[in-house]
Chains A and B, each alone.
Chain A
């Protein structure tokens, strides 16, 4: 029985954001924007969706007198990402005939 791929994660930009955040403790919005080559508007929308799903935490604070947004993956987000990768592996194993 195949697990269904999480629709929140199975989207290009959201998966890119989660893949970045899984490798770090926390990352600034500007860093995520730079690495994903997304526009600030698009990224904001997707970050908000991930936040609403409980997969990431968004911290807004001031850094050197400028507003600064930092994103951090949550325990729920880590679990969802792991499940997504497991499901993906399952599909790929079948696809490659293993």
Chain B
């Protein structure tokens, strides 16, 4: 009987099953690159927006374009990691679906924020009225204003929490669960604050949801790599 045909005792069978399942569990460690990338991009964009509003500075371009630009390295990273990874877990498949849904939702919300004001203005004009700003003390005349989406940053903060919480729960990764819970609290706070403070809260949300978990993942990955050298 060849070794590969070796019959096992019942205890040996059970030990073999357990050891193989454990080998899969410890086979792959996320490097946290995606988390670090998005955590940095979103927090930088949010804090720069806050500084621009707070100090009336104009940097000359839309800082949120860096978030859009981050998609390119993200695609490269994803392709590289998928090539290196020799197996695909059920968790990976579920989480890919969650993050793709999240990306579509964010793009949808950006489109919503850009389309709704113009569409509302056009519809209002068809009905023969415009939106105006009315000063309660009547010190100034009413001003015609363009419609805008109210406190949409709060909605972004709310959406940041959902894939983070799902990832944290599925991967049993406490820093992400904690990050998501803090982000829900930041969302509540943002409902009561002005736009510039919403930007600060948004930056903090990106830090707790992705940047800190990203650093922790990177640290764990390096430690794991050192152990295997």
Task: Indicate, yes or no, whether A interacts with B.
Answer: yes
Asked if B10 lies at the interface with its beta carbon under 8 angstroms from chain A, I say yes
* A24 near B88: Cβ-Cβ < 8 Å: yes
Distance, CA A64 to CA B88, complexed state (A): 18
* A11 near B87: Cβ-Cβ < 8 Å: no
Q: Which residues of B contact A22 (CB under 8 A)?
A: 21
Distance, CA A21 to CA B10, complexed state (A): 20
Contacting residue for A35 out of B2, B7, B17, B23, CB 8 A: B23
Contacting residue for B4 out of A27, A42, A64, A92, CB 8 A: A42
Consensus secondary structure, chain B interface: helix
On whether A26 and B88 interact (CB within 8 A), knowing A10-B13, A20-B23, the answer reads yes
Closest B-chain residue to A25, C-beta based? B88
Asked if B140 lies at the interface with its beta carbon under 8 angstroms from chain A, I say no
* A23 near B4: Cβ-Cβ < 8 Å: no
On whether A19 and B4 interact (CB within 8 A), knowing A27-B87, A30-B86, the answer reads no
Asked if B56 lies at the interface with its beta carbon under 8 angstroms from chain A, I say no
Among B31-39, B89-97, B109-117, B149-157, which stretch is in contact with chain A?
Answer: B89-97
User: A37-80, CB under 8 A of B: which get 1 and which 0?
Assistant: 01000110110000000000000000110000000000000000
Asked if B223 lies at the interface with its beta carbon under 8 angstroms from chain A, I say no
Q: Which residues of B contact A64 (CB under 8 A)?
A: 83
* A16 near B16: Cβ-Cβ < 8 Å: yes
Closest A-chain residue to B5, C-beta based? A11
* A28 near B17: Cβ-Cβ < 8 Å: no
Shortest beta-carbon distance, A86 to chain B, in Å? 12
Contacting residue for B86 out of A10, A31, A42, A85, CB 8 A: A31
Q: Which residues of A contact B92 (CB under 8 A)?
A: 25
On whether A31 and B87 interact (CB within 8 A), knowing A10-B7, A10-B8, A88-B10, the answer reads yes
Q: Which 8 A-B pairs have the closest CB atoms?
A: A19-B20, A31-B86, A27-B87, A13-B4, A28-B86, A23-B24, A19-B17, A42-B4
- Known contacts A11-B8, A14-B4, A16-B20, then 12 further A-B pairs from the complex at CB < 8 Å, ordered by chain A residue: A11-B4, A11-B5, A12-B8, A20-B20, A22-B21, A23-B21, A23-B25, A31-B87, A35-B23, A36-B20, A88-B14, A92-B14
Chain A residues packing against B (C-beta within 8 Å): 5, 10-16, 19-20, 22-28, 30-31, 34-36, 38, 42-43, 45-46, 63-64, 85, 88, 91-92, 95
26 chain-A/chain-B pairs, Cβ below 8 angstroms: A5-B13, A10-B7, A10-B8, A11-B5, A11-B8, A12-B5, A12-B8, A12-B16, A15-B13, A16-B16, A19-B20, A22-B21, A23-B24, A24-B87, A24-B88, A25-B89, A27-B88, A30-B86, A31-B87, A34-B86, A42-B2, A42-B4, A88-B14, A91-B10, A92-B10, A92-B11
